[in-house]
Amino acid sequence: MKKILFAASECVPFVKTGGLADVVGSLPKYFNKEEFDVRVILPKYMMIKQEYTSKMEYLTNFYMDYLGDHKYVGLFRMVHDGVTFYFIDNEYYFSGSHPYTDAFFDLEKFAFFSKAVLSSLPILDFRPDIIHCHDWQTGLIPVHLKAGFGYNPFFQGIRSIMTIHNLKFQGVWSVEEIQRLSELPDYFFSSDKLEAYKDGNMLKGGIVYADKVTTVSNTYANEIKTPFYGEGLDGLMRARSNDLWGIVNGIDYESFDPANDDLIYQKYDARTFRKEKVKNKTALQKDLGLEVDPKRMMIGIVSRLTDQKGFDLIQCVLDQICSDSVQLVVLGTGDAKYENMFRHYDWKYQNSVSAHIYYSEAMSHKIYAACDAFLMPSLFEPCGLSQLMSLRYGTLPIVRETGGLKDTVEPYNEYEGTGTGFSFANYNAHEMLGCIRYAEHIYYDKKREWNKLVDRAMAKDFSWNSSARQYENLYRSLL
C-alpha cells in the first residue's frame, strides 16, 4: 500500500476561500483504495463549523521548539467521506474568523504549520511515502525534509511533491524574516534556493526542493516557463521542466450534477435538457426581476471580480454587450471598481442585467443551470473550475485561450461540427466581444447546432476520475 499525505491550508468542507479547497477536499476520494492510502493534514481553524469539530477525535499533543519557544501542537483526527483527515491545533495561530489574516502573520502561521506537520508524523500511526504539498503555505515542507528532518532516520526516503495552484501567490518577505520564521541556516538563502530578487520566498523553496512539481493544467505548466506568466520564477520553472507535470483539475460530479441537484429549480440531464433546462432560466428571470423570456440568451458570470479574471475587458465593451439581445447575470465579490460597475449596470439596464455582489453556493448552481452561456475571459487561469461546472450543466463557456481554459474548452468549429464552447486568443476587448456575438449568432440563428454543442459539452468527463489516474502515475514514478 502506497501512503500519501496531502498538506494544505484549506479543504472542503471544513474551510474554503478558493479552488485549492475543492481540490484538496475532492481528489483524495477518487484514488484506487486498493493501492493508495491518501490522507489529508490541515490546520484546525477555530472557524471550522461545530458540526465537524464535534466529530473530531483528540489524539495527543506535544510541545515543539519554534522561534525560541515551546509551542503547543494538538493533533485531532476525523474520517469524512471515507478519507482520514488530521488537524493541527494551536489557538494562537489558528483562531480568528478567516484562514488568512494579516500577510506577515500568515507567513509565521504557515511556517509553524509546515514544521508541525513533519514533527507530528513520528507520533501519528501513518508514515507517508510521499508528502503532497499545496501552494506556498506548505512550501517549507520539502525544504525541511531535506534539511533538519532529513538527518532523522524516520524521515529518510519520504518523497515530496509541490503543487502550484496559482503562481501569483508565493509567500514572500525579506530574507531576514523568512530565515527567522523558517529557522533555516544561511546556506538555504542563496539565489538557487530560497532567495529571489533579494527576498525570501517560501514557494520557491518548495519548488527547488520537491522531488516533483505539478500545476493544475498542461497549458499553464508551459505558460509559467515564460516571463509573462512566470511571476519572476520562469527561469526556475524552465530549470525544473523535466520534473514539471501539468494535471488538469476535476470537479466533484456528485456535487455538480444537474440530474440530482437540489439547489436548482428544475433537474435535467443530457437527454432532457432541451425541454427542462429552460425552466431554470424562466424561474431565475422571475426571481431576479428580469424580463421573463425563455428565448432570450442568458450569459452568466460567477467569479472573483478582479483584473486577473478579465473584468477590464468586460468594462471596455459592457455597453455594447448590454445593447445586444442578451441578459447578464453576475455573482461574486472583488475589487470595488468592478463591484460598483455591475451595480451601476444593474440599475441602468434593469430588464437585462442582474448583479449580486456577494457569494452564495446555492445561487451559483442556479446560474450554472439557468444560463445559456458562461463568460470567463481571464488574463491567466491556472486551471479554472467554473468552466468545468458550466460544461457539466450544458451552459456553453466563452473563454480566453489561456491555462486550463484552453485545455478544457474546445472551440466551436462550424465546418467540422466539433467543439464544446467558444474561445478567443488575444487579450483584447473587441476580440472578446466578437466571440460573444458569434455565440449569440449560433444561439439565435442555428439552434440545432447550439443544441449539439450542448450535447458534446455535457458528454465531457471532467470528474476527478481521470485526474486521479494521472496523479497515481505520478506517485508510481516517484516510488
Tell me, what's the pLDDT at 19? 84
CB 407 within 8 A of CB 396: no
Tell me, what's the pLDDT at 443? 98
DSSP state, residue 85: E
The class of domain 273-459 in CATH terms is: alpha beta
Q: H or E segment at 143?
A: helix 140-146
Tell me, what's the pLDDT at 191? 96
DSSP state, residue 410: P
SS3 call for 411: strand
Mean pLDDT (the chain, rounded): 97
Tell me, what's the pLDDT at 342? 98
**Cα separation values, 4 from 15, 36, 266, 473, Å:** 21, 7, 40, 13
Domain borders along the chain are 2-250+464-478, 273-459
CB 282 within 8 A of CB 467: no
Tell me, what's the pLDDT at 18? 82
Same fold, 2-250+464-478 and 273-459: yes
Residue ranges of the chain with per-residue pLDDT less than 70: none
Place of cell 474520517: 79
At residue 405, what is the residue type?
L
Q: Which CATH architecture has domain 2-250+464-478?
A: 3-Layer(aba) Sandwich (3.40)
